[in-house]
Chain A
Amino acid sequence: MDHLEIINNLLFGFEHALSMHNLMFCAIGCVVGMLVGLLPGLGPLATISLLLPLTFSLPPTGALIMLAGIYYGAQYGDNVSAITMKIPHASSIVACIDGYQMTLKGKTGVALFSAAVSSFIGGTVAILVLAWLAPVLSNVALLFGPVEYCALVLFGFVCVSFVTTGSVLDGLAMCFVGVLLGQVGSDIETGGQRFTMDIVSLSDGIQLVSIALGCFGIAEITKNLDNKEHRSPFSGAIKLIPTWPEFKRIIPSALRGSIVGSALGIMPGGGPVIAQFAAYAVDKKLSKFKHEIGQGAIEGVAGQAAADEAASRTSFIPLMSLGIPENAVMALMMAAFIINGIQPGPQMITKHPELFWGLVASMWIGNCFLLLLNLPLVRIWLSVFKIKYSSLFPAILFFCCVGTYSINNNIHDIYTTATFGVFGYIFLRFKLDPAPLILGFILGPMLEENFRRAMLINRGSFAAFVTHPISAVLVSMVALFFAWQLISFFLDQRKQRAERAAAAAAPARVAETPAE
C-alpha cells in the first residue's frame, strides 16, 4: 500500500469520524475513559463490560469509536492520578516512579504536561503505524487457514497467560476454564446442548457481560472495600507550561517511547503495561539524562506515557487484521464488534472501510480531545477524587445490575453475574488473573471451530500443525516457551534450596564457634 493510498484512506476516515454523531461518541468515550483512568477500582475493562449492553442501541461505528475512546482515554487518565497522587493503576505503575517524584519536587505541572504531550505523540505515531500496518497484515492473514488460526490462538493464550499472571501454568488454566465456559450452551456444529445441566437460561450459553462484570466489576469493588484505603485529593499548585530546555527533553524520549510502544502493542500478550516498562528501560539506557531517571526526570514520565498510549492503539492491529485479540480489553472490543454484526479479521477492512478508517481517524481526534481535557482542564479532573469511594461503589453496582439485565431483559442473568462476582473474588485472592479467562471465553468457540475444520481437512491427523510452516513456527515457539518456563522453575528451585541450606548452615557455624 503506497503512501498516497494511506493518506486517501485516512481522509476518507476523517470524513466519517468528523460527522456530528461520531464526534459526540468520540468525546463521550474520551471523557468516560479519562474518568475511569483517574478513579481507582474502575478500569477500562470493567467500564467496557458495563457499556457493552448499551452499544446494542447505538450505530456500530459510533459505538466502537466510543469504546475505543474509553480504552485509550483511560491511559491518559491513569497518568494524572499516578503523577499527582501516586495512585498506581495497572497501566500507570511506571508513571508513579518519576511522575510522583516530580510532584514532590513541585513540578507537577511539568510532569502532567510531559505526560499529556508524550501521550499525544505516542498516539499519533501509533495511528500512522496502525493505518500502514493493519491493511498489510490483513493480506498476510489471508494465508491463514484453520490450522494456523488454531496455532495462533494457542500462541496467544500462552503469551497472555505469562504476561498477565506471571505464571504460564496459572494463566493457561484460566484460559482453559474460559474455553470450557465458552462451550456451555448450543453446540456450534450440531446444535445439541452442552453443559447446560437442563437449566433453560444456560441454553444460549453464558453471557460475556455477566462474566466480565462479575470477574472485573464486582471482584474489584470488593477488593477496594477490603483494602479500606483513604486518599486525600491533590491540592498543590500546577504550573503547566515548561521552560524551553525542559520541553526539548520531552521530544526524543516521547519518540523512543512511541516506537517501543507501537512495536510491543502488536505482540500477542503485549499492551500498555509491558510497553511502558520497556520504554522506561530503554530511556534508562539511551537517555542523555539517564542518571536522573528514578529521581523525578522528565524522561521517566515522557517515554513511558508515549509507549503506554502507542501500545493501546497498536493493540487494535491484530484484532482488526487477524481477528485475534491480544489482551482482555481487545477481547471485549472483539465482542463489541461481533455484537454490532461486524466480524473482525482480514475481510473487515474491505467489507467495512468506513468503520475501519473512521475508527483510525477518530483515534487522532480523540487524541486532540484528550490533550484538551488533560492540559487546560486538568484541575477540574482532580476534583473527581473528592468523591468518596463509599458513595461511588453502589452506583457501579447499580450499573452492573442494569447492564446485565438490559442485555436480555432477564433478571436471571444477574444471578450469573453475582456467581461470577464470587468466583472473581476467589480468583483475585488466589492471585489468578481473570483476563486470560475472558480471552479463553471469547476465543474458545473460534478455537473449537477452527480445530474441528483442521481435523476434518486433515482427516484427524495432528501432523498438519507441524507440517504447515506458519503453524510449525507458532507451535515450536509455544514448545520453546514451555521448555524455558520449566528450566527456569527448576533453576529457581535449586537456587532457593541452596540459599536455604546456606542460611541453615550459618547459625550452626556460629553455635560451633567457642565463645571468647
Chain B
Amino acid sequence: MVASGLLFLAVVMLARSRLIEPAPLDFQFRNIALIAGALLSFAVVSEFVNMLAGIVVMATIACYASDDFSIPRTATIAAALCVMAFAMKRLLGVQLPLY
C-alpha cells in the first residue's frame, strides 16, 4: 500500500516536472565522497585494527575535505579525539574497542 502510494507520488512528480521550469542542480562529489570515505574507513579500520587507528584515519580523511588542510592541525585534532575517546571509555563507561 505504501509502495503503491509512493509510485503514485512518483508519477505525479514526473507529471509536475513536465510543467515547471528546470532548475540547475548543484552537486559537489568531492566533499561527500571524502566524508563518507572517512566514516567507512573508520568502520573498516576499527573492525580489523582498532578504534584508535580508526579515529586517526577518519580525522585525516575528513580534514582533507576542509579548504585549509594542514598536517599539524590534523594531528592535533586526531590526538584530541583519541583523548576524548579514552575519556568516554573510562569516565562514561562507553564500550569502545580502542586498542
Question: A-side interface residues toward B, CB under 8 Å?
Answer: 54, 57, 169-170, 172-173, 176-177, 179-180, 183, 218, 221-222, 225-226, 228, 388-391, 393-395, 397-398, 400-402, 405-406, 409, 411-412, 414-415, 417-418, 421-422, 425, 429-430, 489, 493, 496
Contact = CB atoms under 8 A, between A and B. Distances in A.
Query: Size range of the interface on B?
Result: 35 or more
B79 to A, nearest CB: 12
Nearest to B21: A496
A176 B92 contact: no
7 contacts: A169-B12, A390-B68, A391-B77, A394-B78, A412-B43, A415-B43, A421-B35
Contact of A180 (B3, B27, B46, B59): B3
A493 B20 CA distance: 8
Nearest to A401: B42
Nearest to A391: B77
Contact of B43 (A172, A173, A411): A411
Nearest to B44: A411
Given A176-B6, A179-B2, A218 B77 contact: no
Contacts of B32: 222, 421-422, 425
Nearest to B38: A397
Interface of B: 2-3, 5-6, 9-10, 12-13, 16, 19-21, 25-28, 31-32, 35-36, 38-40, 42-43, 46-47, 54-55, 58-59, 62-63, 65-68, 73, 77-78, 80-81, 84-85, 88, 92-96
A400 B94 contact: no
Main secondary structure, interface of A, reads helix
A405 B9 CA distance: 35
B14 to A, nearest CB: 11
B18 to A, nearest CB: 11
Contact of B9 (A176, A401, A417, A425): A176
B96 A405 contact: yes
Contacts of A414: 39-40, 42-43, 46
Contacts of A228: 67
B8 to A, nearest CB: 10
Interface hub of B9, B12, B85 (most chain A Cβ within 10 A): B9
